Structure formats: C-alpha cells, structure tokens
Structure 1
Amino acid sequence: MRVVFGIDVSKASSEVAILVNGEKVHGYTMPNDAIGFNRLQGDLKMVQSPEIVFEATGVYSCRLQAFLENNDYAYTRLNPLEAKKQLDSLRVRKTDKIDAEKLAQSQFILNRKPTYVQKEVYQNLRALSRFYQNLTEDIVRAKNRLHKVLQVTFPELENLLSTPTGQQYWILVMAFPCKDLVLELGQEAVSSTIRQSTSKRMSDKRVAYLTDRLTELAKQSYCAVKKSSPVIEEVRYYAQELLKLTERRQVVLDEMVRLAQPLPEYDILLSIPGIAETTATSIIGELGDIRRFQSANQINAFIGIDLRHYESGNFLAKEHITKRGNPYARKILFKCIHNIASASHTNPCHIADFYEKRKRQSQVTSTKPHTIASMHRLIRTIHYLITHNKLYDYSSTQSQ
C-alpha cells in the first residue's frame, strides 16, 4: 500500500491531500505553525513509509521542510517550474486543494526520488553566502548614495586617496563632509584626524602629504549647501553605514571560512589558480555538496548555464543559456573566470588558456560567450577534482 501526502504550501497555511494507491482518502487545510505540523505528524505516524511531495515556495516552504527534516521524514521538494510542467497536463482547474491532490497523484505516475538532504554545514554556508551577497549589494547601494550627496558638499574629497573607498576614506568623509570643516581646523587638528583614520601606523611624511592635499582640495572646492544643511548629516550617515556594513561582511566571511575549512573541497577549490577564500566559500555555499550531482551537466542546469536549443524545419534559433537556476552561483562563477584569467600571468591554468584561445579565435567583441564556455569547463574541473578528492595540477592538464 502506497500512501502519498501532497502538500500545497502558501504563506500562512497549506493544503494537504492524502492519497492511498491513487485514491484520495482525506484532505484538510493546516496552518504553517506548530499546531498545523502536529496535526500533520499525527497523520504521518499512522502510515508506514509515507511519501511526501510539496513544491518549493521560497521562504514559505522552509518551515515545512525543517519540520520534516527534524522528524526524519523523507520528502520530495519540487522546483516550481518543474512542478508546473508536470501538473499542467493533469489539471484543468487550479486551486490550492486541486494542486495538493495533483501533486500526490503525479507521484504515483512519476515515482520521484526523495530530495537529497544536505548536511547542516552546507545549509549554514548557503545562508551565510546569501547574507554575504546581500551585504555586498547594500554596500554598493550605499556607495552610490554617498557619491551622489558628496557631489553636493565636497566632491574633491574623492581625489584624496588612490580610490574613494575603504575604512580610512569613510572615516575621513565622516570627519570632513564639507570643505569648511577642513579650513576651520588647524593643521595639527587635521593631521591628528588623518592619523586616527587608519588602524595601520602611518609615517609622518604620509600624514603631512595627506594634510596638505586635503587642505588644497578644500580650498579649490565650492560647496553647494551650507554646513548647517541636512545634506551634511546625510553624508556622514552613508559613510557610517559603509563602515558598519563592511565590518559586518568581514565577520560573515570569517564565519564562512571557519565552517568551510574542515571540508575537503575547500582546499581543492583553493588549489585552482585565481580562486581565493572568498570565492571558494561562496562556491561551496551556493553549490552545496557537489558530490550529489552525478555529472557536471547537472551543475550547469542547477545554475542555469545549460543551453536552450530550438529547431523547427529549416529554422535553427541561436542558442542561449536558460538562466533557470541559481543566479548567485552563476554570478560568482562568472566573476571567477575573470579572476582565473587575471591570475594566469603568474599562476597558469588550463581554464585561462581555454578562455584566451576562445577570445583569439572569435570575431565577436563581447567576452560573455567565452566566459560562459569557460564556466562550463571550470564546473567540469571542480566536479572531477571534488568527486575524486584531488588537488588541481596544471601539468596534469597538459598531458591529456
């Protein structure tokens, strides 16, 4: 006797359909809380080896998934696109109750395997990776806003250091958001502020140079607002936020490294030229346990760089990647190719060789097609090294 629980998850509640040998015997609505899960557990305990099928609905299905994992129930979690394709042929009308029943019915036809549950360390790395990416997006947003308001108060300040970013720069922005605050202070006060703007020990010569440079920039600047304007405080606010965000992001990165270091794939990824600890931990966080993929092509589909092929009669459409996958992993690996290419001047890598070869042979000015092709080669390399527990060796790639 096969008993399948089809669960259609919504924001606050879920529809449950219980089918025995293909026939619905019970159905109900449960809240997505402890009360609802206790009711579901009561029904699950009455059945030996229940099959549970539900559709991933972002953060709303996380609580159900956690409940099933905490109680050691195997489950099948469907990708929304996959679920839509499988259920469209089984339903004419669409409601939550019908969806729950059709999910269960389709299990009798398709006999899906249970979803692979990754170890807690991979789940934690994924959460930290997303946190890291969100903090990076917040930093970029705050930088753009700081640049905008600084054009009104003291745009020349962006030319003080080699790059208008970093802890020292943001501390100086907080101290001198407009030129008047520089000119009103004496040379000693300005020098003291500059000396305190960095945790590194600064030479007297460097301090004197920055003091003279800052004074020179203040004299040539023209502020569009008075120093009592609210815009001055806005400049300080964004500089302070950037300090907090960068410090928090570093804490998150340190925690990611701490979790990833004991994993064998961490050293394997670091052995590939151009991949540093930030990229290595992010790849592990987004791809998870790579050993669960049977081939590199499955990883391609997981991150959405598998090709969409369309052919009809004499018409053959140009192939494009599907982008139906993990956008964070796709972005990380895309940047990784350029890092590998940059590092190849001192640390050769067969992926960089392939990338440069494609660039030379192509008549297309855009490097995106070459990067996507190189991403596939990188994925194949990562999958092979991790599944065979080997470090990267450039010489071995030349002998093949």
Structure 2
Amino acid sequence: MNNDSTIFIGLDTHKSFTQVALLKDKRGEAPSSYSRIQSTKSAFIKLSQTLQSQFPKATLNFIYEAGPCGYWIYRLLTSIGHQCYIVAPSLIPKAPGDKIKTDKRDAAKLARLFRADELNAIYVPEAEDEAIRDLSRARETAMKDLKDAKFQLKGFLLRNNITATVKDNWSKKHLRWLTELVLPHHSQQIVLQEMIQIISERMQRLQRLDNELLYQVKNWRYYPVVKAIQAMRGVRLLVALGTIAELGDLRRFDHPRKLMSYLGLVPSEHSSGQKRRQGSITKCGNKRARRLLVESAHTYKHKPNISAELQIRQEDLSKEIIDIAWQAQLRLCRRYQRLMFLGKHRSVVVTAIAREMVAFIWAIAREVVIIPIDPRQRISRLPV
C-alpha cells in the first residue's frame, strides 16, 4: 500500500445515516463499501479519525451530494483539516442502462467519478453568508404569504359584491373600513374577521423581518458590495441583498460570461454541422437571483436619468463605481429601446437587459475590497 496516496471517500448522506465507500488512488482499483454510520457529528469525527489511523500519510477527500441536509458535514470535515467536496446531483453523469440504485452503489459511484475528474464541486457559502441568505429568503416567503392573504380577502369581497370605498388599499384607513363591514350571515362575518387578523399578523411579521434584515446586513462582510451595486438603476437594497446573498462572492467568476451562464441567462443552443440553433435561456442555476435581476431590468425602459433617490444611494461611493453605473445606464437604456424598435417581445428584451446587468454588477463587485474571514472564526461559527 502506498501511504502517500489519496483516498477518496464517497458519502451517500441521509437524514439518519450515511453510507461510506472507499477508493484508493491506484489504477484499476475498485471502490469498496466501508460501513454505514449515523449522520451525527460524533460519528463523522470518529470516521475521519479511524481512516486517518488506517492511512496515516494519505490525503482524505470526502465527496457527497448536495441535498436538504445542508453544509454542516462539509464545515465539520474541513474544520478538522480534511478535504471535502460537494457536488450537484443534477450534474452527476448516469448511464442510460443503469436501472439499479442503492446506497452502496451511489457512494461508490461518487468516489469513482470524482477520482476520474468527472465531477465539479459546487460553491459552499460561509455559515454567516448562509444565515443572511436564510433571512432574505424568509422575508421573501413572508411577502408571498401576505400577498396570498390579501388576494383571498379580495376574492371574498368580490364574491359578496362588496366594493371598497377607500382608494388607498391596505392602509390603516382601509383596514378600519374592513373591520366596520357587516355581512348578512354570522359565518361570513367570522371568516372576514379571521382574514383581517391574518393580514395584520403577516404585515407585522414582514415588518419584523425587514427591521432585522436592515440591522443584520450592515454587519455583514458583503455589505460594501451590497451598497456598491445599489449605484445601478433598478437595484435597491432588497434586490442587491437578495442577489449577493444568493450568489456569494462574485470574484470567484473570472469572467462575467461565466456568471451569466451560472444564472441561466444565456441562450440554449443546439448546433450541428453548418446549422446553429439558439433557443430560450437555459434557466440553470439560482432562479431567485435571476428573477430579481429580471425584475430590475424593467426600469431601463425609461431614458437615462439620475433621480434623487439614486443620487442618495450613490453617496460615499467611489468615482469608479459611479462611472460604471452610469455607463451601464447609458448602454442598457439604449439597448432596450433598440431591441423594442426591432420588434422583439418585451420579455425577450428584459431578459437581454438582465443578462448585461450581470456584467456591470460583476465589474462593480471587483472594485470593492472585502475583508476575508479568519479561518479561526470560521471554525468557531460551527454549530454545536
């Protein structure tokens, strides 16, 4: 046995247990099923210690699929000095005739494909970055729940032929008008009061999350990037925060085209021989960040202008960032009008604008200095 070799450990993770497979870095070596362990921190620490004692001079590479269990296994193994990689399940190659799927086969397949360099590891956010992302997603969920409750109440009023006499919907005056409604049946009155109470509770929930989000983002290490990309038109705080929370460090993309492809904003293609066919966008990657950018792209249908609100957002920013934002506004507004003049559908135009917005956001992010996280702090943030 070569003590200086690399050992690939495939992990088929589940909620309660994990199947382990080993593969040595030798030509012709076949993966072997090692054991099944509990999906607990103590079990993974014991596994790493046992393997390190069996292969004292070998490098241990752990590989497992991304899933609903999160990144705690990755953070645990890397904190004790081992190499760990997470791969996307959708990018794992599968043979057409492979109809047998077991935990042992899956773990062995991960180790074998990773040794053959057939798998690409995904980006794993820091624990702090994931926490901000969870808070941003919770705020979006609260907003969706509030809209659903409002739609239900509007539908209820429409079925009962009740028209609002207050123009300012969902203001305090409008809510008081709703509480003063008297319906002919007691059961309907109960339903109305329950709907009003649900809307009030969800509005308070949304306000709490907004306040917490505004407080936490100012202490986040990516706050300079969030503040910088707000120099662009159509990118306010929630859009900027949601985009960076989903994408993480934009400096990991060495070219903006890779970021466009990661977001699924590039056109699909099916070319062969002399024919080249391009279709709709691929819609790969993070759909939430893609949706936020597409929504922001609608603002470029107007003429270039620096509004008072945009000028306030650009305060305390460097001249280089402001110049990039103005250059983006000139180009994107002109491109929006030109594509509309050519007869393109509005959704196609907005998607094209969102794709080019990505390049300017990438350029702005590279102008911001981000303080890296101390590795000792990274270990201390692991959950106990």
The answer to whether the superposition gives a TM-score over 0.5 is yes
Q: Does 1:332 align with 2:332?
A: no
Which of 242, 252, 260 aligns to 2:209? It is: 252
SS at match of 1:53: strand
- Unaligned 5+ runs, structure 2: 308-325, 370-384
Q: Which residue of 1 aligns with 2:316?
A: none
1:150-192 alpha-carbon deviations (Å, 9 max, x no partner): 22456212x4123x2345533542x22x3x3xxxxxxxxxxxx
Q: Does 1:56 align with 2:66?
A: yes
Q: Which residue of 1 aligns with 2:74?
A: 65
Taking the aligned partners of 1:26 and 1:153, their CA distance within structure 2 comes to 65
Q: Does 1:8 align with 2:12?
A: yes
Number of residue equivalences: 336
Taking the aligned partners of 1:88 and 1:359, their CA distance within structure 2 comes to 43
SS at match of 1:156: coil
Alpha-carbon distance change, 253 to 265 in structure 1, aligned in 2, over 3 angstroms = same
Q: Does 1:17 align with 2:21?
A: yes
SS at match of 1:110: coil
Q: Does 1:33 align with 2:40?
A: yes
Q: Which residue of 1 aligns with 2:95?
A: 88
Alpha-carbon distance change, 90 to 10 in structure 1, aligned in 2, over 3 angstroms = farther
Greater fraction helix: 1
Taking the aligned partners of 1:32 and 1:380, their CA distance within structure 2 comes to 41
> What aligned pairs does 1:340-351 form with structure 2 within 5 A after superposition?
340-341=300-301, 344-347=304-307, 349-351=329-331
Alpha-carbon distance change, 308 to 2 in structure 1, aligned in 2, over 3 angstroms = same
Shift in Å at residue 257 of structure 1?
Answer: 2.9
Which of 200, 203, 207 aligns to 1:243? It is: 200
Alpha-carbon distance change, 40 to 169 in structure 1, aligned in 2, over 3 angstroms = farther
> What aligned pairs does 1:157-236 form with structure 2 within 5 A after superposition?
157=164, 159-162=165-168, 164-173=169-178, 175-176=179-180, 178=181, 180=182, 225-226=184-185, 228-229=186-187, 231-236=188-193
Alpha-carbon distance change, 254 to 248 in structure 1, aligned in 2, over 3 angstroms = same
Which of 133, 137, 148 aligns to 1:126? It is: 133
- Unaligned 5+ runs, structure 1: 181-222, 391-400
1:32-88 alpha-carbon deviations (Å, 9 max, x no partner): 23454344333354354311111112x1344433433554543211111112x2x43
> What aligned pairs does 1:263-342 form with structure 2 within 5 A after superposition?
263-313=223-273, 316-341=276-301
Taking the aligned partners of 1:109 and 1:297, their CA distance within structure 2 comes to 27
Q: Which amino acid is 1:170 matched to?
A: L
Contact 1:2–1:50 (Cα < 8 Å) also in 2? yes
Compute the TM-score of the two structures, normalised by the length of structure 1: 0.74
Taking the aligned partners of 1:88 and 1:105, their CA distance within structure 2 comes to 14
Contact 1:74–1:114 (Cα < 8 Å) also in 2? no
The CA RMSD measured in Å over matched residues stands at 2.9
Shift in Å at residue 336 of structure 1?
Answer: 1.1
Percent identity of paired positions between Structure 1 and Structure 2: 19
Shift in Å at residue 279 of structure 1?
Answer: 1.4
Alpha-carbon distance change, 327 to 160 in structure 1, aligned in 2, over 3 angstroms = same
Taking the aligned partners of 1:342 and 1:332, their CA distance within structure 2 comes to 19
Contact 1:340–1:351 (Cα < 8 Å) also in 2? no
Q: Which amino acid is 1:320 matched to?
A: S
Compute the TM-score of the two structures, normalised by the length of structure 2: 0.77
1:262-300 alpha-carbon deviations (Å, 9 max, x no partner): 522022112112222111111111111212222222222
Larger Rg: 1
Q: Which amino acid is 1:68 matched to?
A: L
Taking the aligned partners of 1:42 and 1:171, their CA distance within structure 2 comes to 65
Which of 215, 218, 230 aligns to 1:261? It is: 218
